[in-house]
Structure 1
Amino acid sequence: MSADPLDSYSATVIRVAAAVTPLVAALEMTGTGRAGRRTGGAGSAVLFTSDGYLLTNAHVVGGAASGHAVFADGTSTAVEVVGADPLSDLAVVHGRAPTAAPADMGDAESLRVGQLVIAVGNPLGLSGSVTAGVVSGLGRSIPVWSGRNRRVIEDVIQTDAALNPGSSGGALADARGRIVGINTAVAGVGLGLAVPINATSRRIIASLLKDGRVRRAYLGLVNTPVQLQPSAVVRTGRRQGLLVVEVLPGSPAERAGLRAGDILLKVGQVSVSNAESLQKLLFAEAIGEPLDLAVLRDGTELRVVAVPAEMTENQ
């Protein structure tokens, strides 16, 4: 008699939970901003180095400079903020070196829609909480509000693994226990989002560790991957592009004449087919430099020149 499929599923979740839970801390940030107002927030953080560096969300850190992390086994440490990048919603904090080995960081580029993922965090103050689900979508680009300012977080992972307040900054792991994302937001019932661990986010983390910040070029697009129609494939020689869902007002993209409904095919000499392929072209070296864009609009291929600006807190 064959084994119950649920047993295999349960065994995988149990194994990953046992490996990842000790590496996820409950994080509470403290600080004082203007007019004596409290800054920072509460969430989760993932240990990713042997000398006490933890990865979390920029929105969890907020404006705080320090805080406190408590691991599932009850050990705790004071932490100091190393750096934060609101555009990717990633931040690094540093505490006392732990006794546990750090997380095994994976690569979200290997993820496929429908793949099993396990989320570990501290929702509603319940430490070491584990939920499981599947990858519901990849390459998402979402607008978020920071005070009165609007930002775009690119290339997020969409999952139906349950996330709740306090899950932010926690781990999203694959079936082998590798961290493939940092949970960032709850977008609605059955809809959670996570920042992927990939080449771009590794570059961001390295910049935070080195300089405490990330200089980013800014176009001001909300986009999503799209498959081109057969007729467009014949004309352009490309099968995929980035559909422009929204052009943010006053952005370099608006000044260049880009419109919602355009399909971005190439940036410079590089074809773009997902948010990461665009994002990794928009680091410091692109600021202020003319950027040639190949765009498909109403079936016609156009050339547009945009000049990325530096990402600021007002964008």
Structure 2
Amino acid sequence: MVAKKTGFFVGAVAGAGVAAAALAGVGMRMAPAHAAPQPGVVRTAAAGPMIFAPPPGAPMSFADIFEKVSPAVVSIDVSSRVDARSLQFRGFPFGLGPQGPQNKQGEEGGDDGQPTRPRQQSSGSGFFISADGYIVTNNHVVEGADEITVTLKDGRELKATVVGRDENTDLAVIKVQGSDFTFVNFEKGAKPRVGDWVITVGNPFGLGGTATAGIVSAYGRNLNDDSSSFVDYVQIDAPINRGNSGGPTFDVYGRVIGVNSAIFSPTGGSVGIGFAIPADVADSITKQLISGGKVVRGYIGAQIQNFTPEMAQAMGLEGVKAAVVAQITPGGPAEKAGLQRDDIVLSVNGVAIDSSTALTRQVAMGRAGEVLRLEVIRDGKKRFIDIRSGVRPSNKELASATGGGEEDENTGGSKKAEKPSTARVNVLGMGVAPLDGAARTRYSIGPDVKGVVVETVRSDSDAAEKGVNQGFVITSVNMKSITSPGELSTAVDAAKKAGRPTVLLGLADRRGQTALVPVKID
């Protein structure tokens, strides 16, 4: 699913393919230029004028490629029953946008005369990746479907069943009965360059068999949602709209270079910013779905976040790029192996880690039972931790597992006395008090959370800008556990004397969810 961020909307389009040999290498007829173009000149400060030859002229028509590949593209109509309170426009996960022809809702009576759950009709796109009926689309197109109808270019309507879905990459495979379908290939090798032509074919607003053209705008886009932990999206400017989700983006040789999945738009319509799942990712995922119905990923049981330059500065580790452990799942592989909250992860099996996304992907590549060797920094020293990988649960199971409080990992230092000092302090723009029984009752803080409680936050402070609120618990400073306001004040003073502009606070909210937040020293 696309990011929970205002302005992002998922379209309905499918894409994937194992192209037929007859389609591979499909070319385009290039019209001759009307006039010989003159060489371009680019002036650079260092080298002066640089002469370059002009590129070949743009194609005057995309008709040849459309004629060859369009029979492999299908329209997908989905019927599903949903909770009336959660009705949404499929392709608009935030329930925004006007109701279009591909999104219709109705309600029918049950056998007992009582209303059943409303029926939602929606549509998307997809494409054949094999002659025997396998079709690729987006997970959000067919998720929750109880009836799927596929319409081919020649007008035939076929019933389809779901073979497998992967919510983490928003890909799905469905299948229709038959053995002689036109299909297309994923292009996993030669990627178009930024600026190269691409063409999309799909079912926007229920208007099947629609072609649009544009260029590759960028690679490696992050949509700030769960899928971005596993997908670096291709940005294209070929117009795609609701109903295009799951459809293919082709290069000028008729090869699939991406599966359309989302658009960025303040209105819900195309503004020239669309996102496609790269072909190499789609090819790998769809093969796993066809062979086993699901995608199995490695899992260690740890919530992680980026180790930012601000964090590195606070810890005296300038220049270190890594991920940091924010929370450990009780009873999970990481806890059993001895990984701790606040551990800074530098590598997995020798592969350098420069972000939380890199760590997630590297762990996900592991097979269940495989030993993953993590290089970490703890208490300023490097060490290795071997973790036997488990199987990653579904997103729903993960969300359920992290809904409650977590045990205090008490990393970096010995156990402190349970009874804190009674003195309240003002530090970093916050009023901080002991976490006593009254504070636990007032802010609904569980007994397993240790630290000091934030009672006030100055609105112009860096802490407020970083999202620190009343009722948060500060559990550590620079990865050293604290249990009293005095310890917090002392740690901040020490960082100031060391010339550090920030301190790294370990925070827990009222649900017990933890995170590391760098806060500037006031």
Helix, strand or coil at the partner of 1:143: coil
Residue correspondences, number? 284
Per the TM alignment, residue 33 of structure 1 is displaced from its structure 2 partner at its CA by: 5.3
CA 1:293–1:46: 2 relative to 1, 3 Å: farther
**Which residue of 2 is the match for residue 30 of structure 1?**
79
Assess if the C-alpha contact under 8 Å between 1:28 and 1:41 holds in 2: yes
- Matches of 2:179 and 2:246 in 1, distance apart? 18
Query: What are structure 2's unaligned runs of at least 5 residues?
Result: 1-31, 38-54, 84-115, 266-270, 307-317, 399-522
| Greater C-alpha Rg | 2
CA 1:276–1:209: 2 relative to 1, 3 Å: farther
- Matches of 2:385 and 2:188 in 1, distance apart? 32
- Matches of 1:192 and 1:89 in 2, distance apart? 15
Output aligned runs, 1:101-140, within 5 Å: 101-107=182-188, 110-140=191-221
Assess if the C-alpha contact under 8 Å between 2:133 and 2:181 holds in 1: no
CA 1:151–1:197: 2 relative to 1, 3 Å: closer
Which of 52, 63, 77 lines up with 2:144 in the alignment? 63
Per the TM alignment, residue 12 of structure 1 is displaced from its structure 2 partner at its CA by: 5.8
**Which residue of 1 is the match for residue 486 of structure 2?**
none
**Which residue of 1 is the match for residue 171 of structure 2?**
90
TM-score, normalised to structure 2's length? Answer: 0.46
Amino acid of the structure 1 residue aligned with 2:279: I
- Matches of 1:248 and 1:134 in 2, distance apart? 40
Helix, strand or coil at the partner of 1:118: strand
Amino acid of the structure 1 residue aligned with 2:256: I
Q: Deviations over 1:31-54 (max 9, x none)?
A: 335663446842001111000110
- Matches of 1:221 and 1:137 in 2, distance apart? 27
Helix, strand or coil at the partner of 1:204: helix
1:168 aligns with 2:198: no
**Which residue of 2 is the match for residue 227 of structure 1?**
none
CA 1:71–1:9: 2 relative to 1, 3 Å: farther
- Matches of 2:63 and 2:321 in 1, distance apart? 38
- Matches of 2:175 and 2:222 in 1, distance apart? 29
Assess if the C-alpha contact under 8 Å between 1:267 and 1:294 holds in 2: no
Query: What are structure 1's unaligned runs of at least 5 residues?
Result: 224-234
Output aligned runs, 1:138-217, within 5 Å: 138-144=219-225, 152-188=229-265, 189-198=271-280, 200-217=281-298
Helix, strand or coil at the partner of 1:107: coil
Output aligned runs, 1:297-312, within 5 Å: 310-312=392-394
**Which residue of 1 is the match for residue 395 of structure 2?**
313
Moved more, 57-66 or 304-313: 304-313
CA 1:201–1:279: 2 relative to 1, 3 Å: farther
Amino acid of the structure 1 residue aligned with 2:167: P
Helix, strand or coil at the partner of 2:286: helix
- Matches of 2:140 and 2:190 in 1, distance apart? 24
Moved more, 202-211 or 45-54: 202-211
- Matches of 1:301 and 1:117 in 2, distance apart? 50
| Aligned-pair Cα RMSD in Å | 4.1
Q: Deviations over 1:169-191 (max 9, x none)?
A: 10111111101111011123321
Helix, strand or coil at the partner of 1:162: coil
CA 1:29–1:276: 2 relative to 1, 3 Å: farther
TM-score, normalised to structure 1's length? Answer: 0.73
Amino acid of the structure 2 residue aligned with 1:55: V
- Matches of 1:40 and 1:257 in 2, distance apart? 47
| Percent identity for Structure 1 against Structure 2 | 28
